[in-house]
Structure 1
């Protein structure tokens, strides 16, 4: 009875926070970008296999059967498709996205780029094909192709902390919420993002990359929670999480190790950990009852401070990415 009462109180509080003028009312409704890459109609028109009917493993097999000359032809003729096909050779994706983007990301390794909506992009730091360890950073609200610096700062900080031994992917590959409105309090965008994130890890596996450690910030942890049972990952690390849409690590149904970090000054601690009538994201992953391994974060500051140089959280993230902690 006490638990039931507590749930009702938390649900009422969550509703108040979400719809109240002093709460999560500043966000704008977003439409998730999904489906095949831009340019797929022309690709299909040339008699090429439908990307929406191919798994990343099948995409990898398709490209393996092509001559190098034919691969380069496809890059030239269909760059927006090749650049976004999980399972395609990484070097071809980089080349294709360089053609599509021109000077916008000159000199950078762009793993994916989608101009629809607010724009999506995935940037790679290091050599994913040769690295012994790979990390993927999954961001939360407000990150898109036009506002990617907070995400790339995290990626660069993690790569430096591993002394360049871990390849890091800054993955702005889904439609994130804007602000802290209803989109941030519900799971719709996270569900669309989870499908894209799953395909990313399937694509990495298809090209022989190591199973990555995923670092999921804020709303990104909701994405990771919903995708957890399908992800080819060795670690799921959530930081500043509002919840993972699960009651416990066991509910995630993943073989990955699950870690959680939250510092005392993070405003996310004021968000009720409840899921009720589609609002909220469930239990706090840093609660001991959830069952995640705790990442020390007492010396990081605020909601975005977990990758700050010199913090225990960043040092622990680097150790997790490199498999140095058990």
Structure 2
């Protein structure tokens, strides 16, 4: 029995660490970027409250109590803080991040930008303030401010599939694992990401956006699983998931509808769904015993093909995002 357990753990260490990567590669240990945004010291030196201690609702109240000219002055003087304050006016954040990003994401609505580490960025497609529906895509490994192509393709494809009726957020707002290593097998980065995701969704609520549908790809589904009990979301969709660190839907303790998709050609299907000593992410969300609603994905190809135009998975994602399926 002991030997069998060691074998399972070894398999989990080897296989679960590929979750979210494009293939086998050397893994590099990452340290999660956390804490208040860049520029906090100067912000507080101007007599402003600690951004790390304010809730998004308090942030909203802070800006609601100032004049438009004062808000513009704050964004100009402290763009690194204002651009990353969940609960701040959306237009003000876009303007502040256009300054800090220095044209790096020209033409994009940059909802958050943190240059620390590999860089984190949140891009918005559509009008979050007026949209009837909002979808947030939470990516897996190897995504950062310098490696956004696969994430932005997913976001634009999902928005187009809804007939541009849904605002879509590409949320590269946490430190993701890189390559194959212990980071992808453990929940450490996901725990830090879950804190950021909870705050981000609270920020959406603070500015009046509707409850989002979260589409959580690969290691991103670990983030969503850890955040589920604190997030007010309409849907949680686990896509190509190595596990959500929960035995079943009930263990997620969420009021959201929970969905799961995995295509037959996805190598994630070869990952052992075990959890031992903090490594591995547990039950496969597409397993019947997990209890998630199935998303058809037979015509998706590989680990990254679920958002490909024309696939049943993307059509279903669009129906979920717009509330067309019950």
TM-score by length of structure 1 reads 0.95
- Structure 2 counterpart of 1:200: 200
- Structure 2 counterpart of 1:303: 303
Shift of 1:61: 0.8
Shift of 1:101: 1.6
Superposed, 1:173-212 pairs within 5 Å as 173-212=173-212
- Which of 8, 11, 14 aligns to 1:13? It is 11
List structure 1 segments (4+ residues) > 4 angstroms apart after TM superposition.
Answer: 4-9, 16-19
Report if the CA contact (8 A) 1:194-1:223 is conserved.
Answer: yes
Unaligned runs of 5+ in 2: 18-22
Superposed, 1:129-168 pairs within 5 Å as 129-168=129-168
Q: Deviations over 1:109-148 (max 9, x none)?
A: 0000000000000000000000000000000000000001
Shift of 1:69: 1.0
TM-score by length of structure 2 reads 0.95
CA RMSD of aligned residues (A): 1.8
Unaligned runs of 5+ in 1: none
CA distance in 2, matches of 1:218, 1:60: 33
Report if the CA contact (8 A) 2:15-2:270 is conserved.
Answer: no
Question: Number of residues paired by the alignment?
Answer: 322
Shift of 1:185: 0.4
- Structure 2 counterpart of 1:51: 51
- CA distance 1:18–1:260, change in 2 (3 Å): closer
- CA distance 1:323–1:5, change in 2 (3 Å): farther
CA distance in 1, matches of 2:261, 2:5: 24
- CA distance 1:62–1:160, change in 2 (3 Å): same
CA distance in 2, matches of 1:8, 1:251: 26
Q: Deviations over 1:77-106 (max 9, x none)?
A: 001100000000101000100111222112
CA distance in 1, matches of 2:166, 2:3: 47
Q: Residue 72 of structure 1 aligns to a residue in which SS?
A: helix
